[in-house]
Structure 1
Amino acid sequence: MMNTMTPQKLIVAIAVPLEADHVEAIKAAHPAVSVLYEPDLLPPERYPADHGGDPAFQRTPDQESRYWDMLRSADVLYGFPNENAAGLAEIAASGKVQWIQAMAAGAGGAVKAANLSEAQLQSVTVTSSAGVHGLTLAEFAMMGVLNGFKRTAEMAADQAAKHWPELRTPTRLVSGSNVVITGLGEIGMATARLAGAMGMNVSGTKRTIEPVDGVDTVTDTAGLPGLLANADALINTLPGTPYTEKLINAEVFAAMKPGTVVVNVGRGTVIDEDALLAALDNGQVSYACLDVFAVEPLPASSALWEHPRVMVSPHTSALSVAENRLIAERFIENLSRFQAGGPLLHVVDPVHFY
């Protein structure tokens, strides 16, 4: 007897705010996939790529039921439910979802916080948006280097005081200077390309020591102090893991050439903030541009807020008006791979959570 059953249609549910044109792009790229999108169940965006949406938004009991029914019917989710670890934990317990595309580049933290069982970690694949933010972060990192080299903090202070210095102070030349990038992944490589285009000599760290195009010297983290002896700037792009916590500490700051500019677009836990403040005060670090912090929001009690040679950015360096489009394009590519049974891009490690 002939089997007339047809394969079950793959179901994708949009769990986070997303513009309709990006949803339509997903549908157009994968017409055989059922894409569930109910914008009235999703909080409105307050700004481009506001994946959590307006916190004042509340669903009615009926809407809440519809939202979870939609997500539990799906094989694939675009975003964590309610864009948080609790939502991930709840949907993982439902047993149907096989893959979730996270919005964050550092999605491992949320996966870890969800406290999933080993079986759930094996049954639900989470992919991050790592690399999508690479160029935006690289541009921010180079801004930080330029701010430090060109003394913009001092100029802003003089302007606020309406002070015209009697003696002019020279700035530092970026071209020909030495930069060390910790973490030569996609963000690190995007940063290396921009640094190289500005004439900087680029070195960096990587878990596997191997030649990298555009990078003069590659070492592992054990070789970081040696790289910093001649560095004019240090840019961190490393994620937050148990292995990177306070990796950049007092010992590393002591190995720096006095006057080094420090930029952090990775995770705040990578830098020992007390040691950084000490290095700023003793001159090892001349300027720090920080987008991430060990505790966020940065506590009002932190001395980093008021330090005259620190720029505090509220973890916004990755944001751009193109972010939603870029993540949707990444999802479209990954969805093709998922249907073909191929390897997905940027799978979150279920052991080390990066």
Structure 2
Amino acid sequence: MMNSMTTSPTVAIAVPLEAELVESIRAAHPSVTVLYQPDLLPPERFPADHAGDPDFRRTPEQEERYWAMINQAQVLYGLPNESPAGLAQVARQNPHLQWVQAMAAGAGGAVKASGLDLESLQKFKVTTSAGVHALPLAEFAALGILNGFKRSAELAVDQSNRIWPELRTPTRLVSGSRLVITGLGEIGLETARVARALGMKVSGTKRTVEPLEGIDEVAGNDGLAGLLATADAVVNTLPGTPYTERLFSREIFAAMKPGTVFINVGRGTVVDEDALLEALDSGQVSYACLDVFAVEPLPQESPLWDHPRVMVSPHTSALSAAENRLIAERFSANLGIFLAGGELPHLVDPVHFY
């Protein structure tokens, strides 16, 4: 780890980023060398398009310049080429690498997919952008809850068919209902804050079971079924790890109250999708709002596409026009910690990849 008494590091901007945000990093840390060559980075197709245009190609000369820039830096802003393969390549080629700031909140999946062994991963640190996406994800979760309680899917079908039902169907009241959040980290706690503003009573799960302000009950994953018995809605924010894979199993869906609304903004591997479909068909789950899936893009043959009580979002709920600015601000703050020799937040565990 660097400290204030050592030579300041070189930072390489490895992914697309607006020039003014690069300048903001330089202004905040004038002693740091920030390498930024925008002609070597693919253009963004939309705000916070960290991978950039997939049709972008570097010339052989540009490719050589790109990796020369990456391999002389101690710190990277983004995974090279925003890919696990890029991370594996820089780990092999850059003996100076000390820290990589990833763009994703769930960057552990990309670190795992790099195929690097534990010895290699212990030579440098990877931090995620966890927390940057908390508010947009919480707002999306609230959208899912409201959609489920207010029958938006049924209303859309009636509208498309120009049907004005003879008998009016009441909707459910969100205020006073019970929400369970799996994963009371930054995203989960922000979701809880938004849900409480809607009048919901919130409980949830956490690896370290401890009292949390504003949360009625906290349990571990082994206590999830008990929490679900009285829940009206469930929001999953958990990352994909060996410990969370298919946590939402047939048994867990069976533990829910009939008519539960289910939202997933964590990772798709946390849910057994066949079990979810069974729960939807039986009415155990009345509505599912899904931003993530076990396989992405969601295969064309998946029944989730056509299910009348499912909303499919293409893993975009965390995106906002402010994302690049927020990640750059997070990186700049982390860079200050790094220079002072402090402990970086949101480190990816090189063993469990969360």
Both structures adopt the same fold (TM-score exceeding 0.5): yes
- Structure 1 ranges of 4+ moved more than 6 A: none
- Deviation string for 1:197-227 (max 9, x for gaps)? 1100000001111100110010111111111
Q: Specify the alignment match of 2:232 in structure 1.
A: 232
Alpha-carbon distance in 2 for matches of 1:57, 1:282: 47
Alpha-carbon distance in 1 for matches of 2:117, 2:301: 37
Equivalent residue letter for 1:136: P
Alignment of 1:176-325 (within 5 A): 176-325=176-325
What is the aligned partner in structure 2 of residue 3 from structure 1? none
Aligned partner of 2:18 in structure 1 is 19
Which residue of structure 1 aligns with residue 34 of structure 2? 35
Which whole-Å CA distance do the structure 2 matches of 1:115 and 1:169 have between them? Answer: 53
Amino acid at match of 1:108: G
The within-5 A match list for 1:34-183 is 34-94=33-93, 95-183=95-183
Letter paired with 1:73? Q
Distance 1:231 1:304 in 2: 23
Q: Secondary structure at the match of 2:179?
A: strand
C-alpha separation in 2, matches of 1:171 and 1:118:
52
Matched-pair contact (CA < 8 Å) for 2:12–2:75: yes
- Cα distance between partner residues in 1 of 2:34 and 2:138: 33
Query: Residue 239 of structure 2 aligns to a residue in which SS?
Result: coil
Which 10-residue stretch deviates more, 109-118 or 21-30? 109-118
Once the two structures are superposed, residues 65-106 of structure 1 have per-residue CA deviations (whole angstroms, 9 ceiling, x without a partner) of 000000001010000000000000000112111100000001
- The answer on whether the counterparts of 2:175 and 2:198 sit within 8 Å (CA) in structure 1 is yes
Opposite residue 60 of structure 1, the aligned amino acid is T
Matches of 2:230 and 2:275 in 1, distance apart? 20
Please give the alpha-carbon distance, in whole angstroms, between the structure 2 residues aligned to 1:347 and 1:90: 20
Quick one: distance in 2 between partners of 1:206 and 1:86?
Answer: 32
Amino acid at match of 1:70: M
Per-residue CA deviation, residues 119-173 of structure 1 (Å, 9 max, x unaligned), is: 2111110000011100000000000000000000000000000111010000000
Matches of 2:8 and 2:177 in 1, distance apart? Answer: 56
Q: Which amino acid aligns with 1:71?
A: I
Determine helix, strand or coil for the equivalent of 1:294.
Answer: coil
SS in 2 for 1:97: coil
Deviation at 1:7, TM superposition (A): 5.6
Aligned partners of 1:242, 1:137: CA distance in 2, in Å?
A: 23
Task: Give the length in aligned residue pairs.
Answer: 349
Structure 1 distance, partners of 2:72, 2:10, is 7
Per-residue deviation, 1:10: 1.4
Question: Which one-letter code corresponds to 2:207 in the other structure?
Answer: R
Higher RCO (CA < 8 A, seq sep 6+): 2
Paired amino acid for 1:69: A
CA distance in 2, matches of 1:132, 1:13: 21
Identical-pair percentage: 71
Whichever residue aligns with residue 39 of structure 1, its letter is P
Q: Which residue of 1 aligns with 2:327?
A: 327
| Partner SS state of residue 305, structure 2 | coil
Structure 2 CA distance for aligned equivalents of residues 288 and 18 of structure 1? 34
Q: Report the Cα distance in structure 2 between the residues aligned to 1:225 and 1:118, rounded to whole angstroms.
A: 34
Match of 1:10 in 2: 9
CA distance in 1, matches of 2:191, 2:291: 15
Structure 1 residue runs of 5 or longer lacking an equivalent are 1-5
User: How far 1:117 moved relative to its partner?
Assistant: 2.5
Once the two structures are superposed, residues 52-72 of structure 1 have per-residue CA deviations (whole angstroms, 9 ceiling, x without a partner) of: 000010001110000000000
Tell me how far 1:27 sits from its aligned partner.
Answer: 0.2
TM-score by length of structure 2 reads 0.98
- Distance in 2 (CA, whole Å) between partners of 1:295 and 1:7 is 45
Cα distance change, pair 9–226 in 1 and its aligned pair in 2 (3 A)? closer
SS of the aligned residue for 2:303 comes to coil
**For residue 159 of structure 2, what is the amino acid of its counterpart?**
Q
- The AA in structure 2 aligned to 1:240 is G
CA distance in 1, matches of 2:79, 2:17: 13
For 1:352 and 1:275, the matched residues in 2 are separated by: 25
Q: Is the 8 A contact 2:118 2:351 kept in 1?
A: no
The alpha carbon displacement at 1:118 in A equals 2.2
**Equivalents in 1 of 2:43, 2:107: separation in Å?**
22
Point out where structure 2 has 5 or more consecutive residues left out of the alignment: none
d(CA) in 1 for partners of 2:8, 2:320: 34
Amino acid at match of 2:178: N
Aligned to 1:141, what secondary structure does the other structure show?
Answer: helix
Q: Tell me the CA shift for residue 298 of structure 1.
A: 0.2
